[in-house]
Amino acid sequence: MAISLDDPKKLKPLASQAHQVAMNMLRPISRKYDRAEHAYPTELDMLAAMIDGLSESGASEGAGAAGVRRDEKPEGKEKGTKNGANLASVMSIAEMCWGDVGLLLSMPRQGLGNSAIASVANDEQSERFAGVWAGMAITEPGVGSDSANIKTTAVLDGDEYVINGEKIYVTSGDRADHIVVWATLDRELGRAAIKSFVVAKGTPGMRVERLEHKLGIRASDTAAIIFENCRVPKENLLGSPEIDTKQGFAGAMATFDNTRPLVASMAVGCAKAALDLTRDLLTQAGVEIDYDRPAHVQSAAAAKFLQMEADWEGARLLMMQAAWMADNREPNSLEASMAKAKAGRVGSDITLSCVELCGSVGFSEGELLEKWARDSKILDIFEGTQQIQQLIIARRILGLSSAELK
């Protein structure tokens, strides 16, 4: 079977448009909002309106947050493969993060909660929540990467669920107009009882406790949110309210099959920005990078750069594979974790190495290299840390359960 490693032709115009936006709209304000932490980037409102227009016209082909749905087959499956919204999303997001990761994460109506809605919601919910800006609240104090240990509870009381608990590190937690909250219906039933709920901003019993001060992605607001007897309509439970102990955590985890390739694409884009600038700075310094000669006969700086490019290409291909599998409704949990693990690690390695290669220029605020090094670190942490991804990968390859391999 022949495998094409080229970007799909029909998606290249979208990626090109995203690159132009990154270069002309995001890069010029990147440093401004890095310094003005928690200030809302008002320039993004016009960009969000443009993306909404593309989506309504059908021309976006995945400009926003797409979902992974296993219960339907892509159109034209009998004719071959499909390059659709998930692949388009990772390609366009990578280009946008070439501009600025924090600003991409601040885009209205493109939150990680939107991906959760797209992945888990039924048809009625998908229509009802169309156009919302949804953050996603998973992490709790003492409950980081082990999402199955969630303590926040949701108790059915008549036609409403009553939610109690605390969530931390919620991206867009203050700016988003809705929050997708992960909570358990019954702690004794473990991970099978964990469901996600859509909570509108301003709902009584929900409050933003604080905004975090962060190393990177400072343009993006990261909030701690308290839920005290917060009542939400039972129709806002995403997907089925039934607790299926056989399915376990699979329903909730399907969200990650989509969001992990998206985070991988953020790392790929940020690392590409660092590589592009470093290549230019090395060239200006007289360092020649020769692709026709072995690395070991070139300068140490050139050899290091060639190794970084190879690592970056591996991460990019894993990202593309995971997204392509989602478009074709193929189970991609293993590939999504592989892409996220590789891109997260490579992204941090590349951006820090680029700072090192460029010396004092890389370390100063005269260039954006130091900022990209700060921004990229979170991409190896959120949506499942490097260590958790490796654990998931090991379980999938060895065929072991979470109880068998901890």
Distance separating alpha carbons of residues 293 and 106, to the nearest angstrom: 43
Task: To the nearest 10°, report the CA torsion of 262, 319, 382, 311.
Answer: -140
Distance separating alpha carbons of residues 295 and 276, to the nearest angstrom: 19
Distance separating alpha carbons of residues 29 and 9, to the nearest angstrom: 31
Tell which residue, 176, 16, 17, has the closest CA to residue 106.
176
Known catalytic residue: 383? yes
Read off the DSSP letter of residue 143. Answer: B
Calculate ∠ Cα 387-389-395, nearest 5°. Answer: 105
DSSP codes of every residue in 225-240: EEEEEEEEEGGGB-S-
The two tokens of residue 241 are 């309210």
Burial of 158 (0-12, 13-18, 19+ CB in 10 A): exposed
- Kind plus residue range of the DSSP H or E element containing 396: helix 386-398
Tell which residue, 120, 115, 146, 148, has the closest CA to residue 132.
115
DSSP codes of every residue in 45-103: HHHHHHHHHHHHHT--SSSS-----SSSPPTTGGGS----HHHHHHHHHHHHHHH-HHH
One-letter amino acid of 250: A
Read off the DSSP letter of residue 140. Answer: B
Catalytic residue among 43, 188, 383, 404: 383
Tell which residue, 208, 324, 307, has the closest CA to residue 264.
324
| Chain position carrying tokens 């999303």 | 89
The answer to whether 135 touches 107, Cβ cutoff 8 Å, is no
The answer to whether 285 touches 304, Cβ cutoff 8 Å, is no
Q: Which residues are catalytic?
A: 383
